[in-house]
Amino acid sequence: MRRPASSTAVLLGMWCGMCAAQSAPTGPLSLAQAVDLASKNYPSIRVSQERMNAAAAGILLARTAYLPKIDALAQENRATRNNVFGLLLPQSTIPSISGPVLGSNNTGTVWGSALGGLVSWEPFDFGLRAANVAAAEAARAQSEATVKRSQFEVAAATVDAWLTLAAAQEMVRAAQAGIERAEAILRTTRALSDAELRPGADTARVEAELAAARTQMVQARQAVEVARVSLAQFVGGEPAQIEISTAALLQLPVIPPSAPVNFSSNPLALEQNAAIEQARAQLRALERSYFPKFAAQGAIYARGTGADVTGGREGGFNGLAPTVQNFAVGFSVTFPLMDLAAIRAKEAVQSANIRAQTAQEEQIVTELKTRWNTAQAQLRGARDVADITPVQISSAKAALDQARARYQAGLGTIDAVAEAQRLLTQAEIDNALSHLTVWRALSGLATAAGDLRPFIAEVSK
């Protein structure tokens, strides 16, 4: 059995409130966990969800137009009873007086009372109320699409932040390896200098290389801290406590063959399509506005007065209680004859809005295609680089071993060793980043296609 819209909205709001209270789990944070936490904690999603709840309540509000209108009135007054012939235009300032003209003018007052109720119901409306309900339902559908779009954008941003942190951590590992190699060379150089087999300037040269490697490490750690802060804004918790596991990213993923993509199913395009449908529903409601309004009415009321027909006063408490009763039933029709021009102008405005929304949807699809093609180009380039970097590392290691051996044998200079070490460190950084660039390009393809689940599943293997 389907729940009413209001119950669903309430349950969703309660669920979101409970989820928002959750904190990041302890231990390494997987990509799937990061995306799940972001979808529960990030404020923009909760904002969209509450707007969806408001739109769901708007449907109930639109449906109340089918109910009869009941007005009740009770009144006690003490007033004069002078009355005159003549017209008084409709207004809300001068109180009306019923009864015959007395032909006198005095300030004597009497009690008066009134009690009554009026029931008014519109039996048919040429589809106006149904159109208003449909417009409210379209607004809710548009709000639901906004929630999904917000969740998707936050998930995509979380994936990007997670991959950025992974890249920064790989730079730290490469920088640490460079420091360890520089320290090993420094020990060798000092031993040779102490034995007076190499000049002391070589030791100073290696110490300068070690300082440069440590500076690179500081910069890499700074990049890690910044990336943690960026990820923490999505998943919650303290940035210093965030750790991620990047073992899966060190291997190149299996790249599936390219398949046709329906960019209209992307949450951004779906939200825009929902906005178009909402605008169309509002236009249909406007088109049903210029019709007569029919109302079946029934009234029952009673009045009391302390004045008699001759204008005399009965005195005492006469008139405090409504003692004369009346009832009435009827059917009224009202038609705003001069509203046609205003309604036509509103319809023209709404039609222009629909055309603008449709053009914006086409623009969104075009931009998604551009993102897809860009990610495809990045993927091809990153994969080509990833095929080259292993050769680069192997060659750099061989060059460093040869330079170190030549230096220890007195056939080479410390500059050659330092240069070979820098090349190896850079090759290791390039290799790690090339793998991550492939993964980032795949995430770009998933973002353009509008479905991150296959990418997250691939990373989680």
DSSP-derived secondary structure for 376-399? HHHHHHHHHHHHHHHHHHHHHHHH
Question: Which pLDDT score is estimated for 23?
Answer: 47
Question: Which pLDDT score is estimated for 5?
Answer: 41
- Residue 425's CB: how many other CB atoms inside 10 A? 22
- N-term to C-term CA, the chain: 38
Residues 304, 322: contact at Cβ < 8 Å? yes
Judged by average pLDDT, the poorest of 140-144, 187-191, 223-227 is 187-191
Question: Which pLDDT score is estimated for 198?
Answer: 65
pLDDT exceeding 90 applies to what percent of the chain? 25
Question: Which pLDDT score is estimated for 195?
Answer: 67
Query: How confident is residue 83, by pLDDT bands cut at 50, 70 and 90?
Result: confident
Query: How confident is residue 8, by pLDDT bands cut at 50, 70 and 90?
Result: very low
Query: How confident is residue 114, by pLDDT bands cut at 50, 70 and 90?
Result: very high
pLDDT exceeding 70 applies to what percent of the chain? 92
Orientation of helix 43-63 relative to helix 128-194, angle to 10°: 180
Question: Which pLDDT score is estimated for 407?
Answer: 74
Judged by average pLDDT, the poorest of 45-49, 93-97, 326-330 is 45-49
Both tokens of residue 167? 């890249």
Looking at every residue in the chain, the average pLDDT score rounds to: 84
Query: How confident is residue 342, by pLDDT bands cut at 50, 70 and 90?
Result: very high
Both tokens of residue 116? 């009554």
Name the pairing type of β-strands 69-80 and 324-334. unpaired
Query: How confident is residue 29, by pLDDT bands cut at 50, 70 and 90?
Result: confident
Residues 410, 189: contact at Cβ < 8 Å? no
For 269-290, write each residue's pLDDT tens digit.
999 999 999 999 999 999 998 8
Average pLDDT for 330-349: 91
Output the pTM of the full model. Answer: 0.77
Query: How confident is residue 196, by pLDDT bands cut at 50, 70 and 90?
Result: low
Rg, the chain, Cα only: 40
Evaluate if residue 10 carries a pLDDT over 90. no
Angle at 402 (CA atoms; ends 398, 404), nearest 5 degrees: 115
Measure Cα distances from 453 to 30, 32, 114, 251 in Å: 14, 9, 69, 19
For 210-258, write each residue's pLDDT tens digit.
888 888 889 888 988 998 888 888 888 888 888 887 777 777 777 777 7
Write down the domain spans for the chain.
24-64+128-282+342-459
What's the rounded Cα separation, in Å, for the pair 405 and 441? 41
Question: Which pLDDT score is estimated for 333?
Answer: 92
Query: How confident is residue 434, by pLDDT bands cut at 50, 70 and 90?
Result: confident
Residues 203, 193: contact at Cβ < 8 Å? yes
Question: Which pLDDT score is estimated for 367?
Answer: 94
Question: Which pLDDT score is estimated for 330?
Answer: 93
Residues 46, 260: contact at Cβ < 8 Å? no
Judged by average pLDDT, the poorest of 15-24, 124-133, 203-212 is 15-24
Closest CA to 206 of 230, 231, 183: 183
For the domain made up of 24-64+128-282+342-459, give the CATH fold: Outer membrane efflux proteins (OEP) (1.20.1600)
